Structure 1
Amino acid sequence: MKIEIWSDVACPWCYIGKRRFETALAAFPHRDSVEVQWRSYQLDPALPEHYDGTELDYLSTRKGLPPAQVTGMFEHVAEQAKGEGLNYRFDDVVVANSFTAHRLIHLAAAHGQQDAAKERLLSDHFEHGRDIGSGEYLASLGQDLGIDAGEVDELFTTDKYAADVRMDFEEGRALGISGVPFFVIDRKFGLSGAQPAETFASALNQAWQESQPLVMVGAADAEPGKAAPAGEACGPDGCAV
């Protein structure tokens, strides 16, 4: 079973959604048969590489939201994050364009480190005030993930993985995704937002049941062209005698 998650590393609900999804997946009996793929999405593609201001400035100025409303939103989101063991520090968030960070996630995926890269970027952005648009920071993260420095350098000297990131954007739009996080299971089930872990668990179970067709015991022993013999059972018209 494949689960694709459209997400932005500059999205606070995406980190909360990641934790809640992971809680559900950890308790899922068939978790070893689940493939998780992180897909790129940008909430604000037009954001400069670095924004000269705080997260509060950014949302109140560029998005036109009253500062008091933004502060209230920060408090609510931080409280929800705390419930998932996350320590959001919005006053320390460095506002930066996430496009190159998404390219690093694609590079990390080629080395089997996609989830580790996603986790670090989200944590460093919201909990540790790191600059996710900084080449120096991204190079350091690549080193921590065990990726060759030359490959990471290509992110800053070429457009490597840029087409892959844009393809994620296009596929998301084709699926009708207009906000993140957004979870797609086997391209059949969609869940929008940081749903409770119980909702993710229910979706996983439903998707698994639909992906695993019922196999009748004894069918392999039936004669060619004939159904497997049925045992005694009861039905609307009574029970077998």
Structure 2
Amino acid sequence: MRIDVWSDISCPWCYLAQARFGKALAEFDHRDEVQLVHRSFELGPKLRRGDTAPIVKVLMGYGMTEEQALANEQNLSRLTAHEELGYVVDRDHGSTLDMHRLLQFAKDRGRQRELLGIFFRANFAEQRSIYDDDERLVELATEAGLAADEVRTVLTDPNVYTDSVRADEAEAARVGAKSVPFYLFDGKFSLVGAQPITHYSRALERAWV
């Protein structure tokens, strides 16, 4: 059984969903026969390198007051804590294209799942920003088992793996994925958003039939 998952590293709901789905999958009897494919989806496709800002200011740009933005982040901190995840409220937000390109590279090396988890942890649970810092991305990618010189080569050329990112985004549009996280179960049906663990468990059982 194949499950395609569209997500973005800057998406806190994707971070939460990954943890919940992971728990559901760990309890699934046929987990060893599940192929999990992570697909690229940029929440800010128009963002460019250098368009980095504190998340509270970004949320205020969408019409929230500062108090509402802080309350939103504090709520997410509580939700992630329930899944034993770290969460930094005053983190940065910016372009994730380079991270998606590295995830496509990691897919070719069989390390995509590891790198995605590391990117999520670094973005949401650690104070140091992962945006506009190639050496930080190299450090994280090597933690996932990738070769530092190969990672630097990908980061140096903005065209490398960009087509693969765009292909994933085009496929998202084709299957109706307008927001993330978006889980497509064996091409049969989808779940959108950070669902409860029980919903993922039922979806796994339903897709297996």
TM-score for the superposition, normalised by structure 1: 0.82
Distance in 2 separating the partners of 1:69 and 1:5: 30
Rounded Cα–Cα distance in structure 1 between residues aligned with 2:134 and 2:160: 15
Q: Is the 8 A contact 2:12 2:76 kept in 1?
A: yes
CA distance in 1, matches of 2:124, 2:100: 16
Q: Read off the aligned partner of 1:137 and give its amino acid letter.
A: R
Q: Distance in 1 between matches of 2:128 and 2:5?
A: 23
Q: Structure 1 residue 130: deviation in Å?
A: 3.2
More helix by share: 2
Residue by residue, what CA displacement relative to the aligned partner does 1:59-113 show, whole Å, maximum 9, x if unpaired? 112x23222221121121111111100121121x122210000111111111111
Q: Is the 8 A contact 1:96 1:132 kept in 2?
A: no
> Which amino acid is the alignment partner of residue 187 of structure 1?
G
Q: Percent identity?
A: 34
Report the CA distance between 1:125 and its aligned residue.
0.4
2:163 is matched by which residue type in structure 1?
A
Paired AA for residue 143 in structure 2: D
In 2: Cα distance, 1:18 partner to 1:94 partner: 20
Question: What is the distance in 1 between the residues matched to 2:86 and 2:114?
Answer: 18
Q: How does 1:142-181 map to 2 (within 5 A)?
A: 142-158=141-157, 159-181=159-181
How many pairs are equivalent?
207
- 2:69 aligns with 70
Structure 1, unaligned stretches of length 5 or more? 210-241
Which structure has more relative contact order (CA 8 Å, sep 6+)? It is 2
**Cα 1:72–1:147, aligned 2, differ >3 Å: closer, same or farther?**
same
Q: What's 2:12 paired with? A: 12
Give the whole-Å Cα distance in 1 for the aligned partners of 2:165 and 2:53: 26
Shift of 1:34: 0.2
Larger mean Cα displacement after TM superposition, 64-73 or 177-186: 64-73
User: 1:2 maps to which residue?
Assistant: 2
- 8 Å Cα contact 1:5-1:183 kept in structure 2: yes
TM-score normalised by the chain length of structure 2: 0.94
Gaps of 5+ in 2: none
1:239 is matched with which residue? Answer: none
What is the one-letter code of the residue matched to 1:29? Answer: D
Paired residue for 2:101? 103
Look up the SS of the partner of 1:90 in the other structure: coil
Q: Distance in 1 between matches of 2:80 and 2:142?
A: 28
Contact 2:52 2:94 in 1 (8 A): no
Over the residues paired in the alignment, what is the CA RMSD in angstroms? 1.3
1:193 positional shift: 0.5
